[in-house]
Chains A and B, each alone.
Chain A
């Protein structure tokens, strides 16, 4: 059942496919005990209950990690914003009629998608580091942005191509240049279409941002590790870290699904 409705939705939205990065609440599942609610409120419940029952490690962990959460957000938000800009340029490049631009954009996408993010993180940090000394945080954000920019480029390309051909024709027939038509007619519609997949990328990026801890950026995971390595309470530390990630991703995936519903409603009016 769910599979069929998902397929229908894909057809309606054109060529946009959603990456597997996110936990999307299943909208066919209703009621108080949906999987999303059980997971979300279960995780929040545990985060409240555990420090109350066993304040010794749990309350201490939770006091230790908030600046890690903040750092995780910084990395995620900065990376997604830069990735959006790279993605817009890449997406436009992918549909460009100028062969060289088209080719460069396509190569960028192919190369980046073929290299694991963790390898890219190391590569950019040490490659940049051999030329100029960059702060770890900058290297981390650069690597995340370059990687997600490629995925974002594919979302922009699919989004632009999902706009009916008649829109461009109508704009051209009115005397707009191709550039004006893209800016005033095609892109505003594209932004609406790609909002849900971009939201999903945001969630995927939020999770992948845990990789930057490998560069000793003090994000959520790193802070948990720091606490664990001084207190030797590994299980408790990582339990809290996992729960916090879970609450964050579930919260944002709900947001994305509400956004999707809104867009669909407007489309059906």
Chain B
């Protein structure tokens, strides 16, 4: 297979309905290796549903998603193995409160990859240092600020060496003074070449790191462009209206 041209994530005509509510109404997009793509849109536009479909926390009603050559949406997919390679960061961090920062990070490598702690511990410490929390390895989540928790959550996802990272509104639950510390970590990650799919309205981050910004509304992609083009010269009226609201 020619990995050179294969997109890291490919979404083909994704539809998702919750009862009578249409969350996704035919979304098609590709994320190339190393790309950082920001998804924006009003609440209820389906952006989180789209993200959560990539590692099948939501199951599509119809349509297909691939991560590299792995077909995520077929019932035969070994979804657990695919999830190992797709890191996810949640709005509410979802750190495990009964485990310390370092244990949060080593849990998956130890229980999923069966790596010995002689390997996972140094790696966890290295990751904590990378997100600027080397001194917090024994702290429990409730002893950390929101920004610190989210950085631990990023380190936890990175510990599985994912080939793509999904960020579901990673700074929405944070106080303003903590947003930057999380965005800085994400920015560094982007610069190292991580493939990232980010649901967020952080325009500063988009301008600094994103290759493309996707505007979604009512379960569809309305417009895609570079950050500069989409923020400064949106083509579609709906995009213009939305941007006026959040600026």
Q: Point out residues on A near B: beta carbons under 8 Å.
A: 164, 166-167, 169-177, 180, 184-185, 188-189, 192, 266-267, 269
Task: Mark contacts of B151-175 with chain A using CB atoms, 8 A cut-off: 1 yes-contact digit, 0 otherwise.
Answer: 0010011001000000000000000
Across the A-B interface, the 3 shortest Cβ-Cβ residue pairs: A175-B84, A170-B94, A174-B108
Given contacts A172-B83, A175-B81, 19 further A-B contacts (CB under 8 A): A164-B92, A164-B94, A166-B94, A169-B57, A170-B88, A170-B90, A172-B57, A173-B83, A173-B87, A174-B107, A175-B83, A175-B112, A176-B107, A176-B108, A184-B107, A185-B96, A188-B98, A192-B98, A269-B142
CB-CB under 8 A from A171, the residues of chain B are: 96
- Using known A-B contacts A174-B112, A174-B157, A175-B112, determine if residue A169 contacts B94 with beta carbons closer than 8 Å: yes
In the assembled complex, the CB of A190 is this many whole angstroms from the nearest CB of chain B, namely 10
* Contact assessment for B97 and A180 in the assembled complex, using a CB-CB cutoff below 8 Å: no
Q: How far is the CA of A175 from the CA of B111 in the complex (A)?
A: 9
Cβ contact of B160, chosen from A169, A175, A184, cutoff 8 A: A175
Question: Quick check: is B86 within 8 A (CB to CB) of the other chain?
Answer: yes
In the assembled complex, the CB of A28 is this many whole angstroms from the nearest CB of chain B, namely 25
Question: Quick check: is B20 within 8 A (CB to CB) of the other chain?
Answer: no
Question: Quick check: is B145 within 8 A (CB to CB) of the other chain?
Answer: no
Q: Point out residues on B near A: beta carbons under 8 Å.
A: 55, 57, 80-81, 83-84, 86-88, 90, 92, 94-98, 107-108, 111-112, 142-143, 153, 156-157, 160
In the assembled complex, the CB of A132 is this many whole angstroms from the nearest CB of chain B, namely 42
Q: How far is the CA of A164 from the CA of B55 in the complex (A)?
A: 19
Most interface-central of A169, A188, A269 (chain B CB within 10 A): A169
CB-CB under 8 A from A164, the residues of chain B are: 92, 94
Cβ contacts A to B, 11 pairs, < 8 Å: A166-B90, A170-B88, A170-B94, A170-B153, A172-B57, A172-B83, A174-B84, A176-B80, A189-B96, A267-B142, A269-B142
* Contact assessment for A169 and B80 in the assembled complex, using a CB-CB cutoff below 8 Å: no
In the assembled complex, the CB of B50 is this many whole angstroms from the nearest CB of chain A, namely 15
CB-CB under 8 A from B108, the residues of chain A are: 174-176
Q: How far is the CA of A189 from the CA of B141 in the complex (A)?
A: 13
* Contact assessment for A169 and B111 in the assembled complex, using a CB-CB cutoff below 8 Å: no
CB-CB under 8 A from B88, the residues of chain A are: 170, 173
Interface of chain A, helix or strand or loop or mixed?
Answer: helix
CB-CB under 8 A from B90, the residues of chain A are: 166, 169-170
CB-CB under 8 A from A269, the residues of chain B are: 142-143
Please name the residue on chain A nearest to B107 by beta carbon. A184
Please name the residue on chain B nearest to A185 by beta carbon. B96
In the assembled complex, the CB of A16 is this many whole angstroms from the nearest CB of chain B, namely 17
Q: How far is the CA of A188 from the CA of B107 in the complex (A)?
A: 13
Q: How far is the CA of A257 from the CA of B130 in the complex (A)?
A: 43
CB-CB under 8 A from A184, the residues of chain B are: 107, 111
Please name the residue on chain B nearest to A170 by beta carbon. B94
* Contact assessment for B83 and A189 in the assembled complex, using a CB-CB cutoff below 8 Å: no
Q: How far is the CA of A185 from the CA of B95 in the complex (A)?
A: 10
Please name the residue on chain A nearest to B81 by beta carbon. A175
Q: How far is the CA of A167 from the CA of B142 in the complex (A)?
A: 15
In the assembled complex, the CB of B187 is this many whole angstroms from the nearest CB of chain A, namely 22
In the assembled complex, the CB of B18 is this many whole angstroms from the nearest CB of chain A, namely 15
CB-CB under 8 A from B97, the residues of chain A are: 189
* Contact assessment for B111 and A176 in the assembled complex, using a CB-CB cutoff below 8 Å: yes
CB-CB under 8 A from A177, the residues of chain B are: 80
CB-CB under 8 A from A172, the residues of chain B are: 57, 80, 83
Q: How far is the CA of A167 from the CA of B156 in the complex (A)?
A: 13
* Contact assessment for B112 and A173 in the assembled complex, using a CB-CB cutoff below 8 Å: no
CB-CB under 8 A from B86, the residues of chain A are: 173
Q: How far is the CA of A266 from the CA of B92 in the complex (A)?
A: 19
Q: How far is the CA of A267 from the CA of B97 in the complex (A)?
A: 10
Please name the residue on chain B nearest to A178 by beta carbon. B80
Q: How far is the CA of A269 from the CA of B141 in the complex (A)?
A: 10
Cβ contact of A174, chosen from B81, B92, B142, B160, cutoff 8 A: B160
Q: How far is the CA of A172 from the CA of B80 in the complex (A)?
A: 7
In the assembled complex, the CB of B161 is this many whole angstroms from the nearest CB of chain A, namely 11
Q: How far is the CA of A192 from the CA of B142 in the complex (A)?
A: 15
In the assembled complex, the CB of B16 is this many whole angstroms from the nearest CB of chain A, namely 16
CB-CB under 8 A from A173, the residues of chain B are: 55, 57, 83, 86-88, 157
In the assembled complex, the CB of B165 is this many whole angstroms from the nearest CB of chain A, namely 11
